[in-house]
A = this chain, B = another copy of it.
C-alpha cells in the first residue's frame, strides 16, 4: 500500500489515536498543515476507498480507524525507498546513513545510541 504525502499526514494523526472523527484528525494535524475541513474529508474518503481506513457511522458523524498499520506503511515506504534509491539493499542505506555529512550531531548521537542498544545484546549474551 502506497500512501501519498498528504495521506501520511492523515494516517499519522489517525494512528496516534483512534477511532477518531474527521474533526479530531483535523485538530491533530501539524500546525503548518492548514487544510479545509472538506479537504480532510476528501482524503479520508479516498483512504477508505483504498482500504487503508475503515469508516463507521456514529449517529450522523463518522468514526475512522486505520486498517493499514503504521508498521506496514512504514515497512513498505522504507522498502520502496530502498529499491528506488539504494540499489534495493539495506546495506547501501546503512552506509549512506553513516557517511552522511549533513546529519546533525544530535541525529548522529541518536543513531549511534540505537545501534549500541541493538548491538550490545549480541556481545553481552
Residues of A within 8 A of B (CB): 5, 8, 71, 73-75, 77-78, 81, 84-86, 89-91, 93-98, 100, 102-103, 107, 110-116, 118-119, 122
| Chain A contact surface mostly | helix
Contact pick for A77, options B74, B81, B111, B115, CB 8 Å: B81
Question: Inside 8 A of A111's CB, which chain B residues have their CB?
Answer: 90-91, 94
24 A-B pairs with C-beta separation under 8 A: A8-B84, A8-B85, A73-B85, A74-B85, A74-B86, A74-B96, A77-B84, A78-B81, A78-B85, A81-B81, A89-B107, A90-B103, A91-B111, A91-B113, A91-B114, A94-B110, A94-B111, A94-B114, A95-B114, A98-B118, A112-B119, A112-B122, A115-B119, A116-B119
Q: How many subunits of this chain does the assembly comprise?
A: 2
- What residue of chain B has the Cβ atom nearest to residue A89's Cβ? B110
- What residue of chain B has the Cβ atom nearest to residue A98's Cβ? B118
Contact pick for A110, options B8, B71, B91, B107, CB 8 Å: B91
Q: B114 to A84, Cβ gap below 8 A?
A: no
Question: Inside 8 A of A77's CB, which chain B residues have their CB?
Answer: 81, 84-85
Question: Inside 8 A of A122's CB, which chain B residues have their CB?
Answer: 112
